[in-house]
Chain A
Amino acid sequence: MSLMKSLAGAVSAVALLSGVAAAEPAIIFDLGGKFDKSFNEAAFNGAERWAKETGGTYKELEMQDEAQREQALRRLAEAGANPVVMTGFAFGDVLNKVAPDFPNTKFAIIDMVVEQPNVKSVVFNEHEGSYLVGMMAGLATKTGTVGFIGGMDIPLIRKFGCGYAQGVLAANPNAKVVLNMTGTTPAAWNDPVKGAELAKGQKAQGADVIYAAAGGTGVGVLQAAADEGILSIGVDSNQNYLHPGKVLTSMLKRVDNAVYEAFKEGENLTPGINVMGLANDGVGYAMDENNASLVTPEMQAAVDAAAEKIKSGELVVHDYMSDNTCPAASF
């Protein structure tokens, strides 16, 4: 009994000490899990980079179902984690409710704006990055038809699709863009089998380059495209390596940078809205040895020229979420 007591005492002393020394940052991954090869994985990589560079440790939590959202957030805040970073728009409502209850804790949310004094909202100009990969698709297609496969149908994913369609048409005004959404529930992020079927369906319609913005479902799209001998475009993380020589490029969304920055700022996290676009390396496209043979110097030059114009403000890519319409595609 006394042994148990002293053990318990030692444990709580250690817990207290570590609490005093420095609050650990924490990250909550959205449904889909941290190894989705995409959005959550980018966040995980950012956290890992911070841990390696600083030697620090962090708490992490993977959501298993929708009902855990609020609980997970409160649990981490109560445990003294600071800042608490979460990935995904779906945390928006919950965070709005939880943040005022923990005024001394800083929160960062990615992909959503939450206006609370202790919350930093990081949003990305996905339409700009998607425009660039759209141009690449428009230049690479031989059939004149390219595809887009979105995950769950939400305005954010339409923003990807709309930017992409604008880029395709800018590079190839006669091209046809085939659009698909996987579903209207969060399960649409995790159905690679459905993703593969969608890609095969688009190929049957003549598409020879397909851009997937669909989390885990997109992994199925890339797989099917490689099997069918057509090109695909990855999203969020650099997915070129998944099928070397068969993934044209990936639209990079530097979620890793956002998480890294938030962890680095620590308890001094600056609240407010932080927009990450082409100009501040928040989005971009991936070039590496896996797709070097697919992207010609001319293609790259054309895309880079457009990128410069977007950075300088000379070229404005329409943001679907600004008015819920798209000039280049109908959803």
Chain B
Amino acid sequence: MSEIVDILISASFWAAVIRIASPLILATMGELICERAGVLNLGIEGIMVIGAFTGWMAVYQGMPLWGGVAVAMAAGMLFGLLHSVLTVPFGLSQHVVGLGVTLLATASASFAYRLMLPQVTSPPKITPFQPLYIPGLSDLPWLGAALSQTALTWFAFAVAGLVAFTLYRTPLGLAVRAVGENPAAVEAQGLSVTGLRMGAVIVGSGLMAVGGAFLTLSAFSSFFFEMVNGRGWICIALVVFGAWKPGKAVLGAILFAAFDALQIRLQQTALGAVLPYQLFLALPFLLSILALILMSRRAEVPAALMVPYNKGER
């Protein structure tokens, strides 16, 4: 037991938690915006792959790191546009379109990678974001080590704050939330349901792509085809876990990351010799499901989620 306490009070553990949570926070915010506007975006996994690929490729071709982030965001928005055109004005099944976008985005990334780097045997690497030195903060004994994070991590938390502020404190946010609850009422106000929903999906997809780019620009320095590895699906669960609220969703991401970081370290302790490590591997997912059950009992699902809106229909 003391081993677990040792892990929980170590700064390196919390540094890992924040690192693992960052891409999840970005993509979860993206999904949250889409769903608050009434559109389930299952393209998230593929859009993260596109973000990871385009962001990395832009930097590899000589762009600055933030340029890579911008390129990833733009590429994500492009796939968001595709998703939103099919789901909002055309009103097609959001499940089918989402999975289609994921397949298309994943395949496009593989194809483009091979097309641009057909015969590369030396590892294409970039210099990723380095941990930021913040005068004062970085010199603190425990906190300094735990908060030794890259600029993109700080960006992720800033985005979460911005999303929360926009959704709850601005007229635009009110309109986005309303369009996910009662689109007819929004239409009656003279606002465009189609425009709001499409905008939400496009912006949300951009954030998902930045979440993917975090993997290649901050967490690692190369692009691998399957590196997103289900993180997008986890974000879908995190939105439900967070009851469609940005703050709770961030907490959920941190909780999931904590279990993941704990899992890695528990495998290496004496406890790992007693219990099969597969249990630890499954731990983050098991606990997420448990938390999901507990949390979602009180959850307020956007009333118009997955309901296409047809103008003038009652």
Minimum CB–CB distance from A196 to chain B (whole Å) comes to 6
- Contact B123–A180 (Cβ < 8 Å): no
Closest to B267 in A: A180
- B219 interface residue (CB < 8 Å to A): yes
Contacts of B10 in A (CB 8 A): 204
Contacts of A192 in B (CB 8 A): 220, 222, 224, 227
- Contact B265–A204 (Cβ < 8 Å): yes
Contacts of A179 in B (CB 8 A): 267-268
Q: A193-B227, A194-B229 are in contact. Are A219 and B222 (CB under 8 A)?
A: yes
- A191 interface residue (CB < 8 Å to B): yes
Contacts of B304 in A (CB 8 A): none
Binary flags per residue of B239-274, CB closer than 8 Å to A gives 1, else 0: 000000000000000000000110011011100010
Minimum CB–CB distance from A134 to chain B (whole Å) comes to 17
CA distance A198 to B265 in the complex (A): 8
Q: A192-B222, A204-B265, A330-B273 are in contact. Are A187 and B230 (CB under 8 A)?
A: yes
- Contact A242–B123 (Cβ < 8 Å): yes
- State the interface size on chain B (CB cutoff 8 A): 33
Contacts of A190 in B (CB 8 A): 224-227, 229
Out of A178, A184, A194, A219, which one reaches B268, CB within 8 Å?
A178
- Contact B12–A200 (Cβ < 8 Å): yes
- B277 interface residue (CB < 8 Å to A): yes
Q: A41-B121, A179-B268, A181-B277 are in contact. Are A223 and B221 (CB under 8 A)?
A: yes
Out of B220, B230, B269, B278, which one reaches A220, CB within 8 Å?
B220
Q: A187-B230, A193-B219, A204-B13 are in contact. Are A33 and B225 (CB under 8 A)?
A: yes
- A201 interface residue (CB < 8 Å to B): yes
- Contact B229–A191 (Cβ < 8 Å): yes
Closest to B263 in A: A201
- Contact B222–A64 (Cβ < 8 Å): no
Binary flags per residue of A21-53, CB closer than 8 Å to B gives 1, else 0: 000000000010101010001001100000000
Top 10 nearest A-B pairs by Cβ distance?
Answer: A190-B226, A201-B264, A204-B12, A193-B219, A178-B268, A192-B220, A191-B229, A216-B224, A205-B268, A201-B265
Name B residues whose Cβ lies closer than 8 Å to a Cβ of A.
Answer: 10, 12-13, 16, 19-20, 110, 120-123, 215, 219-222, 224-227, 229-230, 260-261, 264-265, 267-269, 273, 277-278, 281
30 A-B pairs within 8 Å (CB atoms) are namely A44-B121, A45-B121, A64-B110, A153-B278, A179-B267, A180-B267, A183-B281, A184-B281, A187-B226, A187-B229, A187-B230, A190-B227, A192-B222, A193-B215, A193-B227, A193-B229, A194-B229, A196-B220, A197-B16, A197-B19, A197-B20, A197-B264, A198-B264, A204-B10, A204-B13, A205-B268, A216-B224, A223-B220, A223-B221, A241-B122
